[in-house]
Amino acid sequence: MAARVLAIWCMDWPAVAAAAAAGLPATEPVAVTLANRVVACSAAARAAGVKRGLRRREAQARCPQLHVVAADPARDARHFEGVTAAVDEVVPRAEVLRPGLLVLSVRGAARYFGSEQAASERLVDAVAAAGAECQVGIADQLSTAVFAARAGRIVEPGLDAQFLSPLSIRQLATEPSLAERGREDLADLLWRMGIRSIGQFAALLRTDVASRFGADAVTAHRFARGEPTRGPSGREPPSDLGVVMNCDPPVDRVDAAAFAGRLLAGELHRRLEGTGVGCTRLAIHAVTANGEELQRVWRCAEPLTEDATADRVRWQLDGWLNRSVRHEDRPTAPITVLRLDPVEVVSAAALQLPLWGSSGDDDRLRARRALVRVQGLLGQEAVQVPVLSGGRGPAERITLTPLGDEAVPRADPGQPWPGQLPEPSPTVLLDDPVELFDADGNPVRVTGRGLFSADPARLTAPALKSAGNRTGRLSWWAGPWPVDERWWDSGQVATQTKAGRTARVQVLLDGDGDTAGRALLLCYRQRRWYLEGMYE
């Protein structure tokens, strides 16, 4: 016996959903319009002469008390979720073809409730309890069942084609979730050729249809003959991969937390292996005895191994438990519940080692292992991986990310960055305040036009202990090269991001006798000079 398919059709669903959203009773006339045309209307509106395809003004003229609502697929889907849930209660794994139309495999339900008739009655009751009207149809094939639902019929097994044959050929295009875009033209063409019913279309030879009307016509032809198509594919319930641990006694020390983390990581990885996936984003939740909830998501560049997971749990708990006392986020009680949720998983093929030899990056893995060990000693933030970033100053053009996190540059290095400092870059990067004076001993500023207020002649570094080698007369200078970046930031943010008008200057300090001078890169921002880098 073929798999029987049941379709649940809620008529005029966009109008029903719009009425429900607006809080109107079902008896009010409602029309949903898209691009000034009515696409759906309620039964009351239809009784007043409104129909699909009318202009909005004409529909309002035919039924003056009509509520006109713009089409909103999100609203339809949102309101249909309640119906789906109600159907799921009775028969699980229903497939939603579109909001307002559900299909499900009825074989199991028919056996459970005694007959197909009884199953359909239960479903209609369940949908009515959820506040919607529906019609149910049962047939051998999915698309036939949809048409059976429109007629409210149960088609006997094997009689699909017979049920369909008296229907008008125009019906081929009426159900948008079953018809492709060109189906309307096909139905129109067949009508003009004198093929008026689906039965007449089904009587044509398959080869003739295929050679004259193309691939979509073949699909339509299969449907017209009631030949097997795909069955309903209900959604799988998402498998629950998260693991939970109730800590008894509650965890308040890092070593206990590390132990708990290792156990949890082991359990999580057994589950992940069982489902054949690897985890690239891991959420760590913790609940304390006082009911505080802490959560952090770790993003990783490659799938986590069991050890890496355990490390991350340990770092996270370490961070939470050892936060400085004045930190307001510090938990006030020990941790009682610990939960790991894989937020993002990838196919485990990424974790598979090659069968013979190595994958060619032995050296890389060896280096990585050594670095991970250092991470275990010093914490996750200790090992940083540089990546080239976009920017103008030498410090902005390198982004450091902790090893194991996704290395994303702060700004795109591929973009043109006009005003970027030319090569070579300083080999030492600093950020120390210095002072620049002209020949008369007055401080030098950079004017709003990007020029020096006077030619610089001398540099002093009052804040530096080893100021000896950074203080002296200038033998040469170049600049200022002004940059006006991130002027939209203000206040505290501006100080952090070093926003605003900046200017950079290269200077050469006089050497004394045998030692050559020093080349320095100075930066003028927030009306102060900073020593940004040294060339050496």
Partner 1 sequence: MTAAVSLDRSEESRSEQVEHLRRKMALMSGKGAGSAASTRRGAMPSNTSLPDSETLLPLPDSLADLLPTSLPRGSVAVLSGARSLLLGMVATVTAAGGHAAIVGQPDVGLLAAVEMGADLSRLAIIPDPGGDPVEVAAVLMDGLDLVVLGLGGRVVPPTRARAVTARARQKGCTLLVTGGDWPGASARLEARVSGYEVTGAGDGAPIPGCGRISRVRLATRAGGRSVGPVRKVGG
Q: By CB under 8 A, tell whether 383 contacts partner 1.
A: yes
Task: Candidates 70, 214, 516, 528: give the one binding partner 1 (CB under 8 A).
Answer: 516
Q: By CB under 8 A, tell whether 412 contacts partner 1.
A: no
Task: Candidates 403, 411, 464, 467: give the one binding partner 1 (CB under 8 A).
Answer: 403
Q: Give the binding range for partner 1 (CB under 8 A) out of 60-68, 82-90, 222-230, 422-430.
A: 422-430
Minimum CB separation of residue 518 from partner 1 in Å reads: 7
Minimum CB separation of residue 517 from partner 1 in Å reads: 7
Q: By CB under 8 A, tell whether 425 contacts partner 1.
A: yes
Return the number of the residue (226 or 426) whose C-beta is nearest partner 1.
426
Q: What count of Cα atoms within 13 Å lies in the side-chain half-sphere of residue 453?
A: 14
Could you tell me which of 201, 231, 203, 232 has the C-alpha nearest to residue 217? 201
Q: Give the binding range for partner 1 (CB under 8 A) out of 98-106, 108-116, 235-243, 373-381.
A: 373-381
Minimum CB separation of residue 346 from partner 1 in Å reads: 21
Could you tell me which of 299, 295, 337 has the C-alpha nearest to residue 319? 295
| Helix/strand/coil for 122 | helix
Minimum CB separation of residue 473 from partner 1 in Å reads: 11
Question: How many residues of this chain interact with partner 1, rule: CB under 8 A?
Answer: 52
Return the number of the residue (218 or 457) whose C-beta is nearest partner 1.
457
Cα-flanking dihedrals φ and ψ of residue 152, to 5°?
Answer: 70, 45
Residues 243-262 vs partner 1: string with x where CB under 8 A? --------------------
Q: By CB under 8 A, tell whether 473 contacts partner 1.
A: no
User: Which CB contacts under 8 angstroms, 24+ apart, belong to 516-525?
Assistant: 517/472, 517/475, 518/469, 518/470, 520/426, 520/459, 520/470, 521/394, 521/421, 521/426, 522/434, 522/436, 522/459, 523/393, 524/445, 524/446, 524/480, 525/498, 525/500, 525/501
Q: What count of Cα atoms within 13 Å lies in the side-chain half-sphere of residue 90?
A: 24
Return the number of the residue (51 or 373) whose C-beta is nearest partner 1.
373
Task: Candidates 185, 273, 293, 362: give the one binding partner 1 (CB under 8 A).
Answer: 362
Q: By CB under 8 A, tell whether 427 contacts partner 1.
A: yes
Return the number of the residue (69 or 522) whose C-beta is nearest partner 1.
522
The structure tokens 């649940």 sit at 8
485-514: which residues touch partner 1 (CB under 8 A)?
A: 506, 508
Task: Candidates 3, 244, 370, 463: give the one binding partner 1 (CB under 8 A).
Answer: 370
Task: Candidates 71, 254, 256, 398: give the one binding partner 1 (CB under 8 A).
Answer: 398
State how far Cα 21 lies from the chain centre. Answer: 27
- Contact predicate 333/397, CB 8 Å: no
The structure tokens 């060619």 sit at 360
Task: Candidates 364, 473, 527, 528: give the one binding partner 1 (CB under 8 A).
Answer: 364
Q: By CB under 8 A, tell whether 463 contacts partner 1.
A: no
Q: Give the binding range for partner 1 (CB under 8 A) out of 95-103, 172-180, 224-232, 427-435.
A: 427-435
Q: Please tell me the chain's helix, strand, coil percentages from 3-state DSSP, rounded to the nearest 5.
A: 35, 25, 40
**In this structure, what is the dihedral angle of CA atoms 459, 463, 469, 472, given to the nearest 10 degrees?**
20
Return the number of the residue (22 or 478) whose C-beta is nearest partner 1.
478
Task: Candidates 39, 195, 345, 429: give the one binding partner 1 (CB under 8 A).
Answer: 429
Return the number of the residue (203 or 367) whose C-beta is nearest partner 1.
367
R_g of the chain computed on alpha carbons: 36
Residue 100, phi-psi category: left (phi > 0), alpha (psi -120 to 50), beta (remainder): left
- If you write DSSP's letter for every residue of 268-309 in order, what string do you get? HHHHHHHHTEEEEEEEEEEEETT--EEEEEEE-SS---HHHH
Q: By CB under 8 A, tell whether 519 contacts partner 1.
A: yes
Task: Candidates 23, 25, 422, 491: give the one binding partner 1 (CB under 8 A).
Answer: 422
Task: Candidates 416, 424, 441, 491: give the one binding partner 1 (CB under 8 A).
Answer: 424
Could you tell me which of 381, 417, 374 has the C-alpha nearest to residue 396? 417
Task: Candidates 61, 297, 333, 400: give the one binding partner 1 (CB under 8 A).
Answer: 400
Q: By CB under 8 A, tell whether 439 contacts partner 1.
A: no
Q: By CB under 8 A, tell whether 471 contacts partner 1.
A: no
* Assigned token pair, 379: 């914490």
Q: How far apart are CA 382 and CA 371, in angstroms?
A: 10
Minimum CB separation of residue 505 from partner 1 in Å reads: 10
Return the number of the residue (162 or 475) whose C-beta is nearest partner 1.
475
Q: By CB under 8 A, tell whether 380 contacts partner 1.
A: no
User: Which CB contacts under 8 angstroms, 24+ apart, belong to 423-428?
Assistant: 424/535, 425/394, 425/397, 425/533, 426/394, 426/520, 426/521, 426/532, 426/533, 426/534, 426/535, 427/533, 427/534, 427/535, 427/536, 428/533, 428/534, 428/536
Q: How far apart are CA 6 and CA 425, in angstroms?
A: 71
Q: How far apart are CA 196 and CA 169, in angstroms?
A: 5
Task: Candidates 378, 408, 439, 463: give the one binding partner 1 (CB under 8 A).
Answer: 378
Q: Give the binding range for partner 1 (CB under 8 A) out of 187-195, 198-206, 225-233, 396-404.
A: 396-404
Task: Candidates 1, 74, 353, 377: give the one binding partner 1 (CB under 8 A).
Answer: 377
Residue 296, phi-psi category: left (phi > 0), alpha (psi -120 to 50), beta (remainder): beta
| Residue ranges binding partner 1 (CB under 8 A) | 360, 362-364, 366-371, 373-374, 377-378, 382-388, 394, 397-398, 400, 403, 422-430, 455, 474-478, 506, 508, 515-519, 533-536
